[in-house]
Amino acid sequence: MNSVVKMTLELNSKDKTTQPLIALYCGSRAGNKPIYREKAIELAQGIAEQGFGIVYGGASIGLMGQVADTVLENAGEVVGVIPEFMLDYEVAHSKLTELHVVQTMHERKAMMADRANAFIALPGGLGTFEEILEIATWGQLNQHQKPMILYNVNGFYEALIAQLDHAVEEGFLPPQHRAKLIVCQSLEEIYTAIKNLNVPSGFMA
């Protein structure tokens, strides 16, 4: 990373946000069907229109870049968190409200969790699955009490939902902890789940 880029990132990393933030977990790819991009745009637009900002993985590509662009276009604030070794791989977004460059994936996830007042998983790959399941595990361990949502676009999460329910049936996942991971089929359900987030500190652990 050259010195000019590093200086720009350092300037952008200062805390500037004034809105409550929602963590969006989503793919660095757009998927094979237009519906994934369309629903990501609708969600990001609705989040911004309701006065929220987002914190996400900091990339300018795939659904990640699309949600960031949409929130910014609708006067929302966007915080990106990206490990230094992924700056080229994920193509860091250069027009965010804040861009934080960290050393490890662990730091990335911890900062996102700390800044967020709720968590929403859009369709994505291994990283998206890992992020929402880790934050659900933290919830099970009483490390936070923030809403956690699977946005089941086009039935994308049906197999994961079935696996979670199977874990309950087999005695490995307490049903009260399974219930904390909210499955939403529509934007209206998501808005209902986050309607009490108007006060930024309302759901902080």
pLDDT tens digit sequence for 51-109: 999 999 999 999 999 999 999 999 999 999 999 988 877 688 989 999 999 999 999 99
- Residue 131 to residue 38: CA distance in whole angstroms: 22
CATH code of the domain containing 187: 3.40.50.450
Check the CA dihedral 77-128-202-46 and report its sign.
Answer: positive
**In which domain, by residue range, is 123 found?**
17-155+181-193
Percent of the chain with pLDDT over 70: 88
Q: Which amino acid is at 111?
A: M
Q: How many CA atoms lie within 13 A of 181 on its CB side?
A: 28
In a domain? residue 103: yes
Alpha-helical segments (H) within 19-125: 34-49, 62-73, 105-115
In a domain? residue 47: yes
Instruction: Kindly state the tokens that stand for 124.
Output: 């994505």
If 0-12 CB within 10 Å is exposed, 13-18 middle and 19+ buried, where does residue 111 land?
middle
Confidence of residue 158 (pLDDT cuts 50, 70, 90): very high
132: how many CB neighbours lie within 10 A of its CB?
23
Tally the domains of the chain.
1
Contact 140, 184 (CB under 8 A): no
In a domain? residue 172: no
In a domain? residue 200: no
- Residue 187 to residue 195: CA distance in whole angstroms: 12
What predicted TM-score, i.e. pTM, was given to this entire model?
A: 0.88
DSSP string covering 5-20: HHHHHHHHTS----S-
Coil, helix or strand at residue 76: coil
- Residue 142 to residue 177: CA distance in whole angstroms: 10
Contact 28, 64 (CB under 8 A): yes
- Residue 198 to residue 123: CA distance in whole angstroms: 26
pLDDT of 2 above 90: no
Mean pLDDT of 26-51: 95
- Residue 36 to residue 30: CA distance in whole angstroms: 7
Predicted pLDDT at 205: 37
Helices 34-49 + 62-73 axis angle, to 10: 30
In a domain? residue 112: yes
Residue position matching structure tokens 């609705």:
46
Predicted pLDDT at 87: 83
